[in-house]
Chains A and B, each alone.
Chain A
Amino acid sequence: MIAGGVGPSLGRYRRGLVPLLWGAGLMGLLAWLPRAEAWFRWLAPEAREVIYPRDDFTALLFNHLALVGVASGLAILLGVGAALVVTRPWGRDFLPLASQLAAMGQTFPPVAVLALAVPSLGFGALPTVVALVLYGLLPILRNGLAGIEGIDPAVREAARGMGMSPGQILWRLELPLAAPVMLAGIRTSVTVGIATAAIGSTIGAKTLGDPIIAGIVNGNSAYILQGALLIGVLALTLDSLFEALTPRRR
């Protein structure tokens, strides 16, 4: 961060600008797409419809965001919660298990999680959310553990020796110190979640994947591009939002 009078506030302002720009781009795309038939015609010259007709893009976007939002919220709750539990003195016994799970889960492709969810939970939004939670949990758990385990033991020792309570150590020491690493895990989880949620369209959830699936089924490349554009810009918007939120290391 730049030292001096206006430096820090200007830096902060600038960092907030990027997600704002991407967000505006996303809004613009939503407004422009329904009227952009001329621009997409060349991709599907034969098709009767060029712009995905079955649903409003805005509705799909909100549904998509709702799925990811609910799933990420749960994943953060469970992931951060689990990371905190297994690093408490009374939960330490489960630390090796949690680290192994977190490491193993990363090697599992999201589509496979989705495919496994259907037989047990059927079609629709529910299995999609479950799959998103399961997959999104792991980077959050892994980074949560790395963040807390990465704190210099001497700092915790000093905190105890000064007479801080376990609660004070958690809130004033462990969470703030682990926050940048934790936030990086949440960022990965949410960004991957945006992409993974699109696959939910294959099992009947309403998402921005709908135009893509419909495009593949009908051989309509224009639909595919429209879905892909929206998902891409959405992912970039959220990612830049996290970038702006991540505290700068001194």
Chain B
Amino acid sequence: MSETPRIALKGVTKRFGAEAAVDAITLNIAPGEFCVLVGTSGCGKSTTLRMINRLIEHSDGEIHIDGRPIREIDPQRLRRRIGYAIQSTGLFPHWTVARNIALVPGLLRWPRARIRERVEELMTLLGLAPAEFADKYPAQLSGGQAQRVGVARALAADPEILLMDEPFGALDPITRESLQEELRRLQGRIRKTIVFVTHDMDEALKLADRLVVMRAGRIVQQGSPDELLAAPADDFVTSLLGGRDRGLKRAALTPVARVMRPVDARLPVEPAVSPDEDLRLALSVMLWHRVETLAVVDKAGRVCGSLHLMDLLGETP
């Protein structure tokens, strides 16, 4: 890699007593990359995350941010430059939503007007109407809303790096999915370097540019979701990827637009899928309607292509 990685871990080890929770891992994360650490509980993924903002000090090896060893940076100043969101949100219960979001800009002594502006901007960005939510207290929010506030707080001082420790782990599946979608969309706009920890492989596959599978303090395999699905390194990665179910997981990563054929005038317009939906969904629609071909209809309602069962096989050998 010619570019300096945003975050570089070189032979990083963390020992608690004699036991190594993280064992000599090496990992480079490029600027703007969405990196997901995934593994079973106790595999060291959270410890790795928390070493990056020095909530846990590494025992051995080196961690660099923009080429600079983090041991040289004062921990409090380091953390103010890095966004941090956790599963239980950790919102301050005695502060309003607006004040919670303003925490880090306040610590950095931004002028008041700028803080107010930034808080409103973030609330709007995360779909929390400022007029409705700014003066609410965390106890008055739903789980999904509280997590949005948590993410807004992490982004408040516009950090280059965002660390997220199972942020959606405690949410119901529907809220979780919609927040995942939103995070993906948000990342398309803000292009932060994100390190995201989860044990949920579906979540990892959906979000990651790069997937890092950890086991017992070591990195077992890393690569793009597609690379991992195509060639899992061993049985552990295979089982984590869902074993024989991974055909569907891979299909879920491919949008219809990538494999569809030109418009076939003989096809009826129903049943249909849209070009940005994924192949897994298309297969499901085929199974449901017992058909081998689907029309592809875009948001405007225009037929823009067709999809055959054979096309799905071409994309998932």
List the interface of chain A (C-beta within 8 A of B).
152, 154-165, 168, 172-173, 176-177, 250
Q: Across the interface, do B76 and A164 meet the contact criterion of CB distance under 8 Å?
A: yes
B137 lies within 8 A of A157 (CB): no
Q: With A158-B84, A250-B139 given, is the CB distance from A163 to B90 under 8 Å?
A: no
What residues on B are CB-neighbors of A157 within 8 Å? Answer: 55, 86, 90
| CB contact under 8 A between A177 and B93, given known A162-B153, A163-B78 | yes
Contact yes or no, A163 B107, CB < 8 A: yes
Interface contact B79-A161, CB-CB below 8 Å:
yes
Q: In the complex the two chains form, is B90's CB within 8 Å of A159's CB?
A: yes
Q: Mask for B74-105, Cβ within 8 A of A = 1, else 0?
A: 01111111001011111111100000000110
A89 to B240, CA, bound (A): 38
Total number of B residues with any Cβ neighbor in A under 8 Å = 27
Q: Are A154 and B76 in contact (CB under 8 A)?
A: no
The answer to whether B55 and A160 have CB atoms under 8 Å apart is yes
* Cα–Cα distance between A154 and B92 once the two chains are bound (Å): 10
Q: Which of A152, A162, A172 contacts B80 (CB 8 A)?
A: A162
B48 at the interface (CB under 8 A from A): no
Apart from A163-B81, A164-B103: 18 A-B pairs, beta carbons within 8 A: A152-B93, A154-B87, A157-B86, A158-B89, A158-B91, A159-B92, A160-B55, A160-B79, A161-B84, A161-B90, A162-B104, A163-B78, A163-B79, A163-B80, A163-B107, A168-B107, A177-B93, A177-B94
A62 to B149, CA, bound (A): 52
Taken together as a complex, chains A and B put the C-alpha atoms of A161 and B78 apart, in Å, by: 10
In the assembled complex, the CB of B52 is this many whole angstroms from the nearest CB of chain A, namely: 11
Say how far B74's CB is from chain A's closest CB, in angstroms: 9
For residues 94 through 144 of chain B, which have their beta carbon under 8 Å from a beta carbon of chain A?
94, 103-104, 107, 137, 139
* B47 contact set on A, CB distance < 8 A: none
Kindly provide the distance from the CB of A110 to the nearest chain B CB, expressed in whole angstroms. Answer: 35
| 22 A-B pairs whose Cβ atoms sit less than 8 Å apart in the complex | A152-B93, A154-B87, A155-B91, A156-B90, A158-B84, A158-B89, A160-B55, A161-B55, A162-B80, A162-B103, A162-B107, A162-B153, A163-B75, A163-B76, A163-B79, A164-B76, A164-B103, A164-B107, A172-B92, A177-B93, A177-B94, A250-B139
Cβ-defined contact, A154 with B79, below 8 A: no
Could you tell me the distance in whole angstroms from the C-beta of A161 to the nearest C-beta in chain B?
4
Query: Does B53 make an interface contact (CB < 8 A)?
Result: yes
**C-alpha spacing A164/B103, complex, angstroms:** 9
Specify which chain B residues have a CB less than 8 angstroms from the CB of A156 in the assembled complex. Answer: 90
Query: Among A155, A161, A250, which residue has its beta carbon within 8 angstroms of that of B92?
Result: A155
- Per a CB cutoff under 8 Å, which of A155, A163, A164, A172 touches B93? A155
Measured CB to CB, the closest approach of chain A to B76, in angstroms, equals 5
Contact between B86 and A154, CB atoms less than 8 A apart:
yes
Instruction: Tell which of A152, A156, A177 has the most Cβ of chain B within 10 Å.
Output: A152
- The CB with the most chain B CB atoms within 10 A, among A157, A158, A160, A177, is that of A158
Q: Which of B151-181 contact A (CB under 8 A)?
A: 153, 163
- Say yes or no: B79 contacts A158, CB within 8 Å: no
- Closest CB in chain B relative to A52 CB, distance in Å: 48
| Chain A, residue nearest B107 (CB) | A163
How long is the Cα–Cα vector from A165 to B103 in the complex, in angstroms?
12
Are the CB atoms of B79 and A162 closer together than 8 Å?
yes
Contact: A176 with B89, CB < 8 Å?
no
**Cross-interface CB contact of B137 among A164, A168, A176, A250, cutoff 8 Å:** A250
